[in-house]
Amino acid sequence: MSDSLLATVGDHFFIGLRPTSVLDDRDRALLRDLRPAGVILYKSNFRHDLPYRDWLSVHRDLIAAIRDASQRDKQFIAIDHEGGRVCRTPAPITRFSYAARWASTAEQVGDAMGVELASLGCNLNFAPDLDIHSNPANPVIGERAFGRTADDVIKSMLPFAKAMERRGVRACGKHFPGHGDTQVDSHHELPVLDLDLDQIKARELKPFAAAIEGGIEMMMTSHILYRKLDPNDPVTLSRAITQGLLREAMNFRGVIVSDDVGMRAMAGRLDAPDSGARFMAAGNDMLMICSHLTDTERARFLAQSILNGVDSGKLDPAVLKASAKRVQAMLDGTAQNEVSELPAEVLARHRSAGTQFDAATVEVV
């Protein structure tokens, strides 16, 4: 496949970089060839061993290299920055605790996160978490959720998201249609839930419906098998759930992004010859593929699969065109933030906005 052909589907990709704070040559080539609409940063893309001004200088060069390689006028520079263990950034960027612990000051925390992430060149945060902490045995959500009921989550998530967006950082609700009642972590295996549509309408879907009504323009799908809604495919590959439920029944008009397709929950599905086309046909607008769980060179395979799907008639080109239009519309309304140093007094003020996370004995990822 020619480089120019690969780039024709670049709007549909989020790429997670290899674990280095300097752009890797393989990543540079992938960004150049694919020209992805989004790049996501992880802990390993920052220098945690340097003073603020020094690591920020390295980071500024990384962001410039990403943009130079991608050759896009507009691009999402994204990060997972929820609080608690879901934190990628070095000090003195504020390390808030889990969302449940600052739910009452969610607007102030959203404002602080927005200022700080924008100063890192980020313009999209994969937050808020719209899951409900309904299952105490859940190994992956817990206090990442704002609360134990739909009302608790709704009360905090929208003020948080709106405050962050006012500072130039877009929000993304996750993990549709709800990860709060699972008992396994989709990073490691496929969760299976037996909730029916009436049950999730009564609980799981309420925060997502409120977020859609409130104007959040991006939603992330989960790698969960809701077998009473679709007995065969996890949400990310399920047209019945992603297109039928989220896009059509709930009237979501924004961008749908997959969770990282390299997660082990997707094992055996990612390498199917038609996997890229199936992800898109299910209703996703963007596929996320990150280096810490798989080889991001697979993005080339997925891009080829999308193009093959169009050529073979398995993927309607009109679906792809409408999807790219949604991505571009959101990008058009997204700030392209520049990396800048924040004054110490601003960072000190932010630390008073919400409970801090004590990571002395817990690794931040």
CATH of the domain at 43: 3.20.20.300
- Quickly state the pLDDT bin for 267 (edges 50, 70, 90): confident
37 inside domain: yes
Active-site residue, from 24, 61, 185, 187:
187
Which residue spans within 42-157 are E strands per DSSP? Answer: 76-79, 124-125
Q: Is the pLDDT of residue 115 over 90?
A: yes
C-beta of residue 106 within 8 angstroms of C-beta of residue 146: yes
Residue 289: what are its φ and ψ, rounded to 5°? -140, 125
Q: Per the residue annotation, which of 181, 230, 259, 260 is the catalytic one? A: 259
172: in domain = yes
> How far is the C-alpha of 15 from the C-alpha of 73, rounded, in Å?
17
Which pLDDT score is estimated for 343?
A: 98
48 included as an active-site residue: no
Instruction: Compare 353 and 26 and report the one with higher pLDDT.
Output: 26
Residue 363 pLDDT level (bands cut at 50, 70, 90): very low
Whether 259 is catalytic is: yes
Rounded average pLDDT over 251-261:
97
Average pLDDT over residues 190-207: 94
Q: Give a yes or no: residue 365 inside a domain.
A: no
> For the chain, how many structural domains are there in total?
1
Alpha helices, DSSP H, located in 9-105: 25-34, 52-70
Digit-coded pLDDT (tens) for 121-175: 999 999 999 999 987 777 678 888 999 999 999 999 999 999 999 999 999 999 9
Confirm whether 357 is domain-assigned.
no
Is 149 contained in some domain? yes
Within-domain flag for 205: yes
The tally of CA atoms less than 13 A away on the side-chain side of residue 143 is 14
Contact indicator for 131, 205 with CB cutoff of 8 Å = no
CA distance 353 to 355: 7
Give, as one character, the DSSP assignment of residue 256: E
Beta carbons of 309 and 274 less than 8 angstroms apart: yes
Q: How far is CA 115 from CA 43, 167, 247, 338, in A?
A: 19, 6, 31, 12
Q: Is 361 exposed, middle or buried (0-12, 13-18, 19+ CB in 10 A)?
A: exposed
Domain range enclosing 165: 3-350
Residue 355 included in any domain:
no
Render pLDDT for 275-330 as a digit per residue (tens, 0 to 9).
Answer: 999 999 999 999 999 976 678 889 999 999 999 999 999 999 999 999 999 999 99
- Per the confidence metrics, is the pTM higher than 0.85? yes
In a domain, 42, yes or no: yes
- How far is 227 from 193, CA to CA, in rounded Å? 6
Q: Which amino acid is at 300?
A: R
Using alpha carbons, list the distances in angstroms from residue 116 to 85, 104, 322, 342: 17, 20, 33, 8
